[in-house]
Structure 1
Amino acid sequence: MEQDNSPEPKNNNKWLLLIALVLLLVGINGFLFYMNRQKTQQNEQLQSEVQVKDTKLEEQIKQYEALKADFERQSQEVQGMGLANDSLEAKLAQINADLLKLRSFKAGSFSIAEQRRFKQRAANFENQLRKKDEEIAQLKADNEALYTETTTLKERQNKLTDTISTVVRSNQELSEKVSIASRLQAENIRVGVVNSRNKEKDDDDNEFKAKRVEKVKVTFNLARNDVSPKETKQIMMRLIEPDGAALYNLSTGGGTFTIDGSEAFYTAKQDIVYDNTRQPVQFVYAKGAPYKTGLHTVELYEGGVMIGKTTFTLK
């Protein structure tokens, strides 16, 4: 008996097609999965690179900000020492320009080349910063040394000034002592009168009749003084009337001189060559008019200092 196998090939073909379709779908899915996987990995790598670039950019910005702060510090230190800081201002301008450029980069756009360029510039700035710090440190050390030296010199100068002042003061004191010690003194002062007949009269009580007085005669000795130099001395006599006014007449040798900074009148004067021998000196004064009655005073001066004084009375 014969068998009919014609439907079997058709069924086999259907199964083959189905299997092929399934395999095709599996292959397509596998390829799509692979491509998607590759794309994901690429995106992850790209994102990682962007993150790395952004991190480098942030680090570079921070480095430049630190450099800016250090250069500003240096500028203030140099300015505080009174020195010009033009070069530091120029460097600060460069750093600010670089910072502005760095902050203008968009995310992921900080290329390797830019990273290298800014890194190298930052390294140069750090090198300049370090050298400037060394220079500032040396300047500070020099200033401190100069300040110490100046302070020492001022202290020495002050001590020297004090010493000089002490010497000057001592010399002034010594000069004053010598001046005082060298002052002349009039001793044995006596007053007499001369009448119109040129007769002299002395009185131990120094009392005379006014109507008989034509001239007044004052005699004394210059006391010994080994300190006073032997030289010409100018002796002034003041004859003071009872009302307190000194007799004064230019025609009879009167004039003015200074006593303790004030101007005073003198009645007569003489230039005496002092020889330290108790030499005698005399003044004879003619008023040329009647004398007032009352107590009269005779004052003797040398160098503006009183060297003797006495009184007499006219009745």
Structure 2
Amino acid sequence: MEPTQNSEPKNNNRVWLFVALFLVLLGINGFLFYLNQQKGKQNEQLTATVKEKDDKLEAQIKEYETLKADFERQSQEVQSMGQSNDSLLARISAINADLLKLRSFRKGSFSIAEQRRFKERAANFEAQLRKKDEEIAQLKADNEALYTETTTLKERQNKLTDTISTVVRSNQDLSEKVAVASRLQADNIRVGIINGRNKEKDDDDNEFKAKRVEKVKVTFNLARNDVAPKETKQIMMRLIEPDGSALYNLSTGGGTFMVDGSEAFYTAKQDIVFDNTRQPVQFLYAKGASYKTGLHTVELYSGGVMIGKTTFTLK
């Protein structure tokens, strides 16, 4: 019986030992569970912190990309207005350099100090951007005002040019009318001949014997013209033979002059001072050779314009 009694305490000790061991294990598991929970929370916080930094980094990169696009827009606007865009190109270059640095942080840490520094730089760029937008707006307003003023001036200039052109045309028309009105006119043209005995013969029919002609005498009056200036006038006479050729001899005072843009021969010329008194003019021409028979024509010119004409016949 005694051995049975001794085995019971041993069994009880074992039970208590198992209970104690179980409690120790349970405590260890609980502690490990607590540690795992704490580590999980730390990992979550770390993940949240990293995500927050990444979000801030991406937001900062996006802000710089927006600034770059705005500065490029300003550069194009300034260049289109013919202004220098060197300062804007320098800012775009600085933003590109900052973007390279920001993108490099994707592989490393984006510290709070770096966040603050780039945020301040972005704010500075933003202030420069707003100031430049104001300058561009003012420049556009000035250009628009200048364009309006220039357009107005051009319209006035065109009107003035049209007015001047009208005045010039009117003056030209008036000058042409005055020039036409001031032309001389030969009146009472008469032809006579002087024979070898220096005797003059007139004929109302202007018909003479060719063998008796030594000299041809042409007389006329200059008609009154209140428009023509009182000045020296040059008058040419053309004595045209039946074959259509004008008598021309340098030794007897002949020469050439322009008629309707073409060169023509004249038989004789003289300068007279026009005084608007119907003054008489006379040409006396000696051919120095026999005259041809047939119809002769006398043409009188002044200023390249015919002022009178008549004919006579030599038999």
Q: Taking structure 2 as the reference length, what is the TM-score of the superposition?
A: 0.96
CA displacement, residues 239-293 of structure 1 (integer Å, 9 cap, x when unaligned): 1111111111111111111111221111111111111111111100000011111
When structure 1 is superposed on structure 2, of 137-146 and 117-126 the one drifting more is: 117-126
Shift of 1:6: 5.2
2:281 match = 281
1:98 match = 98
Local SS of the residue matching 1:104: helix
Instruction: Give matches, 1:3-152, under 5 Å.
Output: 7=7, 9-106=9-106, 109-152=109-152
CA displacement, residues 169-188 of structure 1 (integer Å, 9 cap, x when unaligned): 11111111111111110000
2:155 match = 155
Shift of 1:82: 1.3
CA displacement, residues 75-95 of structure 1 (integer Å, 9 cap, x when unaligned): 111111111111111111111
Aligned residue-pair number: 314
Local SS of the residue matching 1:277: coil
Q: What percentage of residue pairs aligned between the two structures are identical?
A: 83
Shift of 1:52: 0.8
CA displacement, residues 58-107 of structure 1 (integer Å, 9 cap, x when unaligned): 11111111111111111111111111111111111111111112122235
Amino acid at match of 2:272: I
Shift of 1:14: 2.8
CA displacement, residues 287-306 of structure 1 (integer Å, 9 cap, x when unaligned): 00111111111111111111
Contact 1:50 1:108 in 2 (8 A): no
When structure 1 is superposed on structure 2, of 302-311 and 7-16 the one drifting more is: 7-16
Instruction: Give matches, 1:176-187, under 5 Å.
Output: 176-187=176-187
Q: Which runs of 5 or more structure 1 residues have no equivalent in the other structure?
A: none
CA displacement, residues 178-223 of structure 1 (integer Å, 9 cap, x when unaligned): 1111111000000011111111111111111111111000000000
Instruction: Give matches, 1:187-198, under 5 Å.
Output: 187-198=187-198
| CA distance in 1: counterparts of 2:301 and 2:72, whole angstroms | 79
| CA distance in 2: counterparts of 1:198 and 1:108, whole angstroms | 133
Instruction: Give matches, 1:164-313, under 5 Å.
Output: 164-313=164-313
Amino acid at match of 1:225: N
| CA distance in 1: counterparts of 2:67 and 2:57, whole angstroms | 15
Contact 1:54 1:107 in 2 (8 A): no
Q: Taking structure 1 as the reference length, what is the TM-score of the superposition?
A: 0.96
CA RMSD in angstroms comes to 1.7
Local SS of the residue matching 1:66: helix
| CA distance in 2: counterparts of 1:122 and 1:293, whole angstroms | 113
Shift of 1:7: 5.0
| CA distance in 1: counterparts of 2:223 and 2:272, whole angstroms | 13
CA displacement, residues 213-234 of structure 1 (integer Å, 9 cap, x when unaligned): 1100000000011111111111
| CA distance in 2: counterparts of 1:253 and 1:215, whole angstroms | 14
| CA distance in 2: counterparts of 1:100 and 1:241, whole angstroms | 104
Q: Which runs of 5 or more structure 2 residues have no equivalent in the other structure?
A: none
Amino acid at match of 1:184: L
